[in-house]
Structures are given as structure tokens and as C-alpha cells.
Chain A
């Protein structure tokens, strides 16, 4: 019988949750790397037993772990992340220039077809790649070499590259998103990059609200069957692009707040999109203390609240950008983790929810693997 494995990164370790295909009962294994911040862990689409985990700490810096048995055992791999050549400078919060400084890996994106190749998104923003299963890492210099890079400025969470999408039909097409620089697209497998932010507007945040770069994009997502259609949760605004990021339209009307962090797409319905509205940039909790997932079945044109099984009073958690995911079973399962340590699971595309686990450390990321 098929099953689902959830890879949960938290402020104090990693957890692996497993269930059979009913997704009603979850076995919790962990913490792995107890006490360490696990910003993200993700499995290889080509070999689901191959997992990569970003392990970091304010005390001891960045490490990287790999599992070849689906998370039962782990071994450290290479963690020497260094910028290629002169690091250069970028804008700091106060408008001064500051040298690029490596802090941590926010996001890991294994290749779609090679378990030994994995991309890593860094703070300060840079894209790294390993082609030897994580033993060594090389910066893909074209991104940070973009002429706009010295003008990139951190968002409140730092200048972080947090989203990496590999084209499902064409691996030479890639997207990355950086807070607070925006979306960049590559047509040559990451060698060169162009901003893809036309149509984004950051009123009150940028002196030029329609600038080519500088937007605080929180997350982008796409459905594999329609690689030109992108959805975005920006700092404020939920956006959609029908032309692979050449232009964006606002589709946030009808939401109680269009501020938020995560966004994802149903595994079988390319026009069904999920967000978790958050009150504002200064109030990082759900409006009215009600934890609601909003679903659009029309690609963002209408939204409906999903509340069954979710707390509808006195809830003041946040849901981070990497903390929502879907499985590929039918009906589609959808999951998200909160800063309060709950991982909520729905086995019916969001109609009903239950906590797969409660009281973990603050959840930073959730990834689902659908197992045969």
C-alpha cells in the first residue's frame, strides 16, 4: 500500500513522519540532529531514499547531512560553502554596503533525475550546486554576478535565497526567489539569470514600487503539468504569472489578508492553489486568531476558507515559506507546519484537517514524499 513520508525541519532538529495511504495516523521519528536548526530537508525525486538536510547553528555554523535510507540513518557530507572569487558587497538595511557573508543554507532542491545532484540556496543570497551527492559545493556564479546584485537588500529574515524550482519539462529552465531581491529565471540551467518581476508592486516598501529587483518574494510554486504558470506569495500580494514570470497579476482579492509566506498547488488540479493568510508584516499570525487555509479552485480568482479541524480561536502561530507541501496521492494530501510546532495534515485536499503531530519545536519546513 502506498504511503507518505513527511520531512519536517524545525528550530531544534528534524523529524520524519510516516503514514500509510490513508494518512490518518502518523509515526513520528526524531529528533534527528537535536538542538540544531534544520531549515530544510528534501528527498531526491529520482531516489526517494536519498535525502539531504541543511543543519545549522548560530554557534557552530553550517553543516550538511545525507541519508541513503529514507532518513533512518544520516551521515555528514561536505559543508564548505564559499563564494566564488571576490565576495563583493550588497546593500545593507541602513543603505550602506556590506560584504557578502555566508550564514546558512535555507533551501535544498535535488535534481529531478540525478540523486547525486542537488542545489542549495544560501543566505547571503547565492546558489550552490553539488554534483557528488553533497561532498563538494560550487557556487553558480551567474546569479550573484547579475549586474543588479550589489543593489540587493535583505528582508527582515536576511538576504536569503529560499526558493529553487527546476523546470519539470525542461531542466535548463530554473527559477529562484530571493528576499528581498525577487524572482530570477535562467534558461541555461543556472549559468545566467534575468529578473522576472514585471508586474510586482511593492508600494511603501521600495522607492520605485515597480522596480526590476528589490521585491520581497516569499515563495513561488508551479504545477508540473503547466510549467509556465507560476503562483507567488509576496510579502504583501498573492500573484500569478501565465508566461513563466514575464509578467505577474494580482490574484489576492477575496483573502482576509494577502500577506503570508507559503503557497502551494494541488498535485492533480493545476488551478487549485493554497495559501495561509497572515495578518500583516508586523503581526505574523492569522487574522482574528483563526488558522485558515485559503483554497482557490480557479487559479486565484475566488478563494474559500478551509477551517475544519483547524483552531478557530486564540491561534497566533505563523506558517513559514517552506512549511507547506502536497503529496501526489488521490485525493491529494496537503500539509503545513506552524511556529507552534503543529504539523497539520489533510487527506482530502484541504476539506478536513488534523494534527499529524503537536508540540514540536517551531516548524521551519515540511516536505512530503509519496511512497509506493
Chain B
């Protein structure tokens, strides 16, 4: 069974991947951060390393994950994402964090 998850990328990564404001990825199994980003990277290999470290899978320091007005950035990578993300109601948003002045 797979879940169609909606993902919104920051502008720089949209251009890099050649996609519009929102993409949909099919996630098989539990819908977690790790699974969603893995599906995203599998579909758009150019994004490898841009959201999380290739080896450790650790989120890059200036990347944040939001969904349903909640900051999920510091949730465990294997924690289940909200049902609304798994069902495609809410968008999993990848954000370039505020940095600089």
C-alpha cells in the first residue's frame, strides 16, 4: 500500500528539480519524514544532499519541515507524520529557514 504525499519545496529546490510549487510522491509503508524525503530523492536525485545529509540522513541545519501549521523539524525521522499529511490533506512543507539579518 502506498500513500500519495504532497510536498512543497523552497523556490531554489523547485528550480533545481524542475518542478512546480508542489509535487506528489508515493510513499510505501509508514509515512515518516525519512520515507517522504527518501521518495522525493528517489524521484529527483538532484535533491540528494540538499535537504539532508546523504550518509547520516540528518536534516541540514537551515532546513525546516512544516505541516498543518506545526513545526515537525525536530521530530524523529522515523516518527509517523500526521494523518493529514499521509492522506494528502495537508502538505509536507520543506522550508529554507530564516537566516541572516
Residues of A at the B interface (CB closer than 8 Å) are: 35-36, 57-63, 76, 79-80, 82
Contacts and interface: CB of A to CB of B under 8 A. Distances in A.
B57 interface: no
A61 B60 contact: yes
Nearest to B62: A59
A80 B63 contact: no
A76 B46 CA distance: 7
Contacts of B46: 63, 76
B70 interface: no
B93 to A, nearest CB: 14
Nearest to A79: B49
Contacts of A57: 12
B82 interface: no
Contacts of B11: 35
Contacts of B10: 59
Interface residues of B, number: 18
Interface in B3-51: 10-13, 16, 46, 48-51
B47 to A, nearest CB: 9
28 contacts: A35-B11, A35-B12, A36-B12, A58-B62, A58-B99, A59-B10, A59-B12, A59-B60, A59-B62, A59-B96, A60-B12, A60-B13, A60-B16, A60-B50, A60-B60, A60-B63, A60-B96, A61-B49, A63-B16, A63-B50, A76-B16, A76-B46, A79-B49, A80-B48, A80-B49, A80-B54, A82-B54, A82-B55
Contacts of A60: 12-13, 16, 50-51, 60, 63, 96
Contact of A59 (B48, B54, B55, B99): B99
A57 B11 CA distance: 13
B76 interface: no
Contacts, number: 38
B79 interface: no
A59 B97 contact: yes
B14 to A, nearest CB: 12
A284 B72 CA distance: 42
Contacts of A36: 12
B49 A59 contact: no
Nearest to A76: B46
Nearest to B54: A80
A82 B96 CA distance: 24
Given A35-B12, A36-B12, A57-B12, A62 B49 contact: yes
Contacts of B51: 60
Contacts of A76: 16, 46
A36 B16 CA distance: 11
A351 B51 CA distance: 48
A59, A63, A76, A82: residue with the most chain B Cβ atoms closer than 10 Å: A59
Nearest to B52: A61
Contacts of B55: 82
A198 to B, nearest CB: 39
A60 to B, nearest CB: 4
